[in-house]
Amino acid sequence: MAEPFLTVTGLTRRFDVSKPWLNRVLEREGRQFLTATADVSFSINKGETFALVGESGSGKSTIAKMIVGLLTPSAGQIAIEGQGIDPADPIAMRALRRRMQMIFQDPFASLNPRWRVGDIIAEPIRTLGLMPRGDVGREVGRLLDLVGLSAADASKFPHEFSGGQRQRIAIARALSSRPEFIVCDEPTSALDVSVQAQILNLMRDLQDEFKLTYLLISHDLSVVRHMSNRIGVLYLGRLVEVADAKRLFHEPQHPYTRMLLDAVPDLALSGRRRKSVSGEIPNPISPPAGCAFHPRCPQVKAECKAAVPVLCATPTGRAACVFAGGAPASIP
């Protein structure tokens, strides 16, 4: 198998959520840490869409931010084509930033309202010095065309566009540095379904045209199913299952994945009774010992409470559950 494009190993991020120093002294409390991501490892092959799903607080966005360098990991490595990323090395980071871009959830917040659309899209080209000044205008027009807007829109401001059109602008900006890899953090959750369909179709067309690699972050399982080749399921900062997208939906290995799938409302009216799930995501500051899912798990056993299960090979990928069986898996 070819070398994966992106490899993430043991990625961990802790946030210090302690009270101020004086309060800690007076109330005799120690420092408190919130572990947003714990020991996450996965890899993404060139040209594929890898999706991360999970509920709020599961660490999806933290992982995305660490990959593009907006947050530094507390532990673990990120490597692109086998080369480790060092967030402390500004020159190497700058070269990498051209190769990876990000699309954010809320197109109302991710575009500067005081900039014209043309300048927004041209910024990566200008900052990275990718082409002579004279050509930038033409390039912006071409990018706008590509995402289904018109070249004349370059002189408008973001407020003149609807949510879906703004997300197209955000995509054009992401494409302007000709990246190979785009991190899409909930690209359609702020949009209506009919507009979501337009954006998802556009993202697929662009992927085919430019051989893009996507990391798609979403909480919507049906979007993920539609878009991705492989899926990673996160629960409370840990990867509980990684599997081939098609098989994950038919043969979920981890009880949490099964629970998530059961919870999705059924549009096909197959008469499937949705199983109601018990409990909610625990507080990430004091997660349960052992498998973080054990208080909600229908199959919980004594050993689940003792140790965090490791990712084991399953017929469809890897899963971190004592029931998934098999030997501990190496990274895919």
Partner 1 sequence: MTKPLLSVRDLVVEFPTRRGTLRALDGVSFDIAPGEVLGMVGESGAGKSITGAAIIGLIEPPGRIAGGEVWLGDTRIDQLAPEAMRRLRGRRIGMVFQDPLTSLNPLYTIAQQLIETIRTHMDVSEKVARGRAVALLDRVGIPAAARRIDDYPHHFSGGMRQRVVIALALAAEPELVIADEPTTALDVSVQAQIIDVLKEICAERGAAVMLITHDMGVIAETADRVAVLYAGRMAEIGPVRDVILAARHPYTAGLMGSIPTLQHAADRLVQIPGAMPRLDAIPAGCAFNPRCPQVMDRCLSARPGLKPVAPNHAAACWLADTGVTHG
Q: Could you count the other beta carbons within 10 Å of the beta carbon of residue 76?
A: 17
Task: Please select the residue that binds partner 1; options are 2, 152, 193, 302, rule is CB under 8 A.
Answer: 193
Q: Does 19 bind partner 1 (CB under 8 A)?
A: no
* Interacting span for partner 1 (CB under 8 A) from 6-14, 19-27, 236-244, 273-281: 273-281
Minimum distance, C-beta of residue 13 to partner 1, in the bound complex (Å): 21
- Told to check if 306 binds partner 1 by CB under 8 A, we report no
Interaction mask 37-66, partner 1, x per CB under 8 A: ------------------xx----------
Question: How many residues bind to partner 1 according to rule CB under 8 A?
Answer: 43
In angstroms, give the least distance from the CB of 127 to partner 1: 31
Least Å distance, CB 163 to partner 1, is 8
What's the chain look like in SS3? CCCCCEEEEEEEEEEECCCCHHHHHHHCCCCCEEEEEEEEEEEECCCCEEEEECCCCCCHHHHHHHHHCCCCCCEEEEEECCEECCCCCHHHHHHHHHHEEEECCCCCCCCCCCCCHHHHHHHHHHHHCCCCHHHHHHHHHHHHHHCCCCHHHHHCCHHHCCHHHHHHHHHHHHHCCCCCEEEEECCCCCCCHHHHHHHHHHHHHHHHHHCCEEEEEECCHHHHHHHCCEEEEEECCEEEEEEEHHHHHHCCCCHHHHHHHHHCCCCCCCCCCCCCCCCCCCCCCCCCCCCCCCCCCCCCCHHHHHCCCCCEEECCEEECCCCCCCCECCCC
| Angle between the N-to-C axes of helices 163-175 and 133-146, in degrees from 0 to 180, rounded to the nearest 10 | 130
Nearer to partner 1, 196 or 314 (CB): 196
What tokens does 104 get? 């954010």
Pick out residues in 143-182 that bind partner 1 (CB under 8 A).
Answer: 162-165
CA dihedral 119, 125, 131, 135 (to 10 degrees): -20
The interface with partner 1 within residues 81-120 (CB under 8 A) comprises: none
Q: Which stretch binds partner 1 (CB under 8 A): 29-37, 114-122, 189-197, 300-308?
A: 189-197
Dihedral, 156, 158, 163, 164 alpha carbons, nearest 10: 50
Residue 300 CB, nearest approach to partner 1 (Å): 16
Instruction: Specify the residue, 4 or 107, whose C-beta has the smaller distance to partner 1.
Output: 107
**Is residue 267 within the footprint of partner 1 (CB under 8 A)?**
yes
Task: Name the minimum Å distance from CB 262 to partner 1.
Answer: 8
- Residue 55 or 86: the one with the smaller Cβ distance to partner 1 is 55
Q: How far apart are alpha carbons 320 and 102 in whole angstroms?
A: 29
Of the residues 27, 265, 302, 330, which one makes contact with partner 1 according to CB under 8 A: 265
Closest approach, Cβ 129 to partner 1, in A, equals: 36
Binding of residue 264 to partner 1 (CB under 8 A): yes
Stretch that binds partner 1, among 59-67, 166-174, 195-203, 321-329 (CB under 8 A): 195-203
x/- binding map, residues 202-231, to partner 1, per CB under 8 A? --x--------------x-xxx-xx-----
**Of 150, 276, 286, 330, which one interacts with partner 1 (CB under 8 A)?**
276
Backbone angles phi, psi at 149, to 5 degrees: -110, 180
Is position 254 an interface residue for partner 1 (rule: CB under 8 A)? Answer: no
Q: Which residues bind partner 1 (CB under 8 A)?
A: 55-56, 162-165, 192-198, 200-201, 204, 219, 221-223, 225-226, 246, 249, 259-270, 274-278, 280-281
